[in-house]
């Protein structure tokens, strides 16, 4: 997979890719991530990429021309499965969407800033709009990092233990069961006996039961799906 990320502050987004699973996925060649500084596509002497809103009102708007130049250059080099705009009014990111995107070949992600992008950018180039939740961030960079993390860990082969993503929350419309590691007892709090029993099938049954219990208590809404 290849991911191209377009931003006015690309330095803001680089560090999440420099450690842990995302770094490993890049090093092992499962994903290739490229950052593009939108200012390099500005035709303005001051590298300006934003301007005042037509009709008045607070907040600057990202201009269509530099974004067009950047996106068109990338599109001339390869085909993209999706050109994603991070936006609070986009489709809310969930595990189903992450699974779906993890199977793609080339993705482009546009991070907004200031008041957002000129509507014509969305009309002309964007194929998918994604929100990471019902709150407003200062820019799309952190959202793009969240999206990439959710996608990249699902690319087959990225996680060391192949099955570990399958037992994560949301994969079966269920939350994960409780997990424990050593010691078996800590300050009087014991690990459930069943997990120490060595009885694989019973452990699985216990986990299924706890996952269902937890989901009913905390997120009954996802069970309905
Ligand atoms: N005026 C816009 C918010 C702009 S915030 C509005 O009210 O809808 C600036 C940028 O941050 C946006 O262009 C978008 O790229 C990003 N952003 C903000 N909140 C986000 C969210 N919840 N999910 C994804 N991106 C978000």
Ligand 1: residue whose CA is nearest its atom 22: 88
Per-residue buried b or exposed e for 72-108, using 16+ beta carbons within 10 Å of the residue's own CB: eebeeeeebbebbbbbbebeebebebbeebbeeebbb
Is the distance from CB of 61 to CB of 51 less than 8 angstroms? yes
Q: Which residues line ligand 1 (CB under 6 A)?
A: 86-89, 111-113, 115-116, 131-133, 135-137, 139-140, 143
Pocket test for ligand 1, best of 64, 136, 139, 146 (most atoms within 8 A of CB): 136
> Mean pLDDT per segment of 10 residues, for the chain of length 225 residues?
97 96 97 98 94 97 98 98 98 97 98 98 98 98 98 93 79 93 98 97 97 97 83
What is the pLDDT at residue 225? 64
Ligand 1: residue whose CA is nearest its atom 12: 112
Q: Would the pTM count as exceeding 0.85? A: yes
| Distance (Å) from CA 86 to ligand 1 centroid | 7
Q: Which domains does the chain have, with CATH numbers?
A: 2-152 (3.40.1280.10), 172-224 (1.10.1270.20)
């Amino acid at each position: 997979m290849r991911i191209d990320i377009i931003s006015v502050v690309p330095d803001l987004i680089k560090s999440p890719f420099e450690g842990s699973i995302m770094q490993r996925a890049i090093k092992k060649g499962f994903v290739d991530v490229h950052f593009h500084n939108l200012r390099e596509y500005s035709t303005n002497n001051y590298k300006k990429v934003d301007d005042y809103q037509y009709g008045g009102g607070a907040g600057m708007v990202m201009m269509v021309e530099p974004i067009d130049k950047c996106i068109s250059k990338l599109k001339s080099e390869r085909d993209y499965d999706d050109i994603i705009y991070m936006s609070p009014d986009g489709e809310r990111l969930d595990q189903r969407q992450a699974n779906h995107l993890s199977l793609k070949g080339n993705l482009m992600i546009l991070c907004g800033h200031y008041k957002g992008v000129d509507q014509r950018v969305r009309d002309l180039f964007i194929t998918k709009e994604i929100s990471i939740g019902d709150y407003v961030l200062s820019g799309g960079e952190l959202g793009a990092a969240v999206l990439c993390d959710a996608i990249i860990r699902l690319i087959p082969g990225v996680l060391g233990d192949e099955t570990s993503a399958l037992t994560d929350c949301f994969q079966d419309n269920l939350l994960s069961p409780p997990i424990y590691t050593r010691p078996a007892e800590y300050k009087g709090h014991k690990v459930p006996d069943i997990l120490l029993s060595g009885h694989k099938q019973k452990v699985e049954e216990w986990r299924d039961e706890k996952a269902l219990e937890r989901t009913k208590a905390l997120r009954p809404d996802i069970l309905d799906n």
